[in-house]
Every structure is written in structure tokens, then in C-alpha cells.
Amino acid sequence: MKIMLLGTPGSGKGTLAQSLSSGVGLPHISTGDIFRAAIHHKTKLGLEVKTILASGKLVPDELTCSIVFERLTEPDARQGFLLDGFPRTIPQAETFDRKMELDSVILLELDEETNVTRLTERLICPDCGAIYHRTFRPPQKADVCDTCGGTPVQRPDDQIEVVNKRLEEYYRLTAPLIRHYEDKQKIHRFNALQSPAALLHEVQSFLQNL
Ligand code: ADP
Ligand code: ZN
């Protein structure tokens, strides 16, 4: 199954993908995670994209596509994958659609106010990528990642000024993908306001019947 998760930054794509991945046995491929890991490890890619991510803009299409296609050739992606954060522009979608066909695009929908506070309250573990929310889903022990013992922190791009820029970029460059995949009858809408567990359950039953 080739699945794509679509929705604003903060709609919960990453949280959903992390728990869905083991349930459906498909790798979670997040371009944001790939870029952040590269920055964390100071690789050539990391140096190239660091200021772009910090500003809330998008990494150039060509670079993003080549990173994704390289990742998709790895053996674990042969049976399918959960794409999180890609494609994110119409040119990326067109490049992708020429190579493969998605089975479904899971669109997560929520109101703007919740969206913004989810981002500004979010904490992420720099070592394993686990996602937390200061108020609603804090780590069990303060400042200690449940999964790996790392220290969850705020992402630099989750500060309010950058959040606004990212949402602006989403509506300008990414939201047109809804129409693009609606025309191909791939869009399936889900209410992203429900609890992570309820959303997971709903998406899992949907995928079982796909
Ligand atoms: P979010 O969806 O919460 O913004 P991500 O982790 O998906 O977070 O992405 C973080 C940043 O990584 C984006 O703001 C952008 O700079 C870059 N990025 C991720 N995916 C793409 C993509 N497909 N194309 C271009 N840039 C991307
Ligand atoms: Zn961790």
C-alpha cells in the first residue's frame, strides 16, 4: 500500500504515522525527519537545508525529490510506505505521479486555532523523533523521552513567527494538492481534532477496507 498523509503542519501527520507504521507494517517516510536527522548529524545535506528549515520555507523540489526517491529504493519500502510531508508542492506531486501511483491520500482536517497551539506546544525528541505536546501528551517523566531517554525540545521552526510562515507556505504551495488528488479520487478526509488513539483507529479500519 502506498499511502500519503496530507494536512497542515501541526495537523498530526507525524504522530499518526509513527503509530500507524508498526500497525500496518509499512515504513514511515518523513521528509522533515530526514532533513532534521541530517541537520542533527551535520551532514552535507544538513548544512544545505538548515537555514531553509529554520526560516519555514520549503527545500527546493529537485533536492527533495531526489532524497525521497533514494529512500524509496530501500528494501523496506518495497511493499509500500506511509509518506509524511511529501509531496508538498504540485511539481513534487507531478514528479512522483510519473513514477508511481498512490493508493490513498489521508487528509487530516482541523481548525486554525488548534492548529497553531499544537505547533507552539509541541516538543520533539532530537534523538529518535518522538513527538509530544506540553499539555496534552507530555513525556511520562518530565524532559525524558519515553522511547529513548533523550531530551524532548521545541523545534526551532515551532516558534510562532516561523509557524505563521509555514502555514502560509502550506496554503500557498501544498493546499493545491487537495484538488490535484481529488481529481484522481484519492483523497479521504479525517477529523484531526479527535484523540490520537481515536484517529489511529479510524484510519486503521479505513485502510483495512481499502
Ligand atoms: P511540518 O509538516 O510540521 O511543517 P515537517 O517535519 O514535515 O513539518 O517539515 C519541516 C520542514 O522540512 C518544512 O518546513 C520544510 O522546510 C522541510 N520539508 C519537509 N518536507 C518537504 C518537502 N516535501 N518539500 C520541501 N520542503 C520540505
Ligand atoms: Zn527519543
Catalytic residues: 13, 88, 122, 155, 166
Query: From its phi and psi, is residue 159 left (phi > 0), alpha (psi between -120 and 50) or beta?
Result: beta
pLDDT tens track for 78-135: 999 999 999 999 999 999 999 999 999 999 999 999 999 999 999 999 999 999 999 9
C-alpha cell at position 38: 541530517
pTM of the model: 0.91
Cα–Cα distances in Å, from 34 out to 20, 78, 84, 129, 130?
Answer: 18, 19, 11, 10, 14
Q: Which atom of ligand 1 is nearest to the CA of 13?
A: 2
Contacts of residue 37, defined as CB under 8 A and 6 or more positions apart, other chains included, come to 46, 129
**Complete domains list, the chain, with CATH:** 2-112+162-205 (3.40.50.300)
Contacts of residue 87, defined as CB under 8 A and 6 or more positions apart, other chains included, come to 4, 93, 95, 96, 177
Q: CB within 6 Å of ligand 1 — which residues? A: 9-10, 31-32, 35, 52-53, 56-59, 64, 85-86, 88, 92, 157, 166
pLDDT tens track for 27-45: 999 999 999 999 999 999 9
Indicate the average pLDDT of the chain. Answer: 96
pLDDT given at position 52: 97
Indicate the pLDDT class of residue 65, thresholds 50, 70 and 90.
very high
